[in-house]
Structure 1
Amino acid sequence: MSQPSGPGLAEERTAFAWRRTAVSVAVGALLCLKVLPPVLGPPGWALAALGFVWSADLARIGRRRHVEARASTRAGASVPLGGGGYVLRTAVVTVAVGVTATVAAVVISVRAAGG
Structure 2
Amino acid sequence: MTALPDRGSQPVDPGLQPERTELAWRRTALALAAGSLVALRLLPAAFGSAWWTLGGVAGLLVTAALYQGARRRYRQVNLALGREGHEARMPGAGVLFALALFIFAVAATGLAVVLAIALAVPR
Q: TM class, shorter-chain normalised?
A: 0.7 to 0.9
Note if 1:72 corresponds to 2:80. yes
Distance 1:80 1:109, change over 3 A: farther
Distance 1:66 1:109, change over 3 A: same
Question: Is 1:44 aligned with 2:48?
Answer: no
Unaligned runs of 5+ in 2: 1-12
1:18 aligned to which of 25, 28, 32: 25
Identity within the alignment, % = 28
Whole-angstrom CA distance in 2 between matches of 1:21 and 1:91: 12
RMSD: 2.4
Change in CA separation of 1:91 and 1:79 when aligned onto 2, cut-off 3 Å = farther
TM-score of the aligned structures, taking structure 2 as reference length: 0.73
Gaps of 5+ in 1: 1-5
Cα 1:23–1:108 change in 2 (3 A) is: farther
Cross-structure match for 1:28: 35
1:4-63 Cα deviation digits (max 9, x unpaired) = xx5361100110111111000000001101110123313310100011011101210110
TM-score norm. by structure 1 comes to 0.78
Q: How far does residue 88 in structure 1 lie from its aligned partner after superposition?
A: 1.8
In the alignment, residue 102 of structure 1 is paired with which amino acid?
A: L
Contact 1:19–1:58 under 8 Å retained in 2: no
Instruction: Give the conservation status (yes or no) of the 8 Å contact 2:43–2:53.
Output: yes
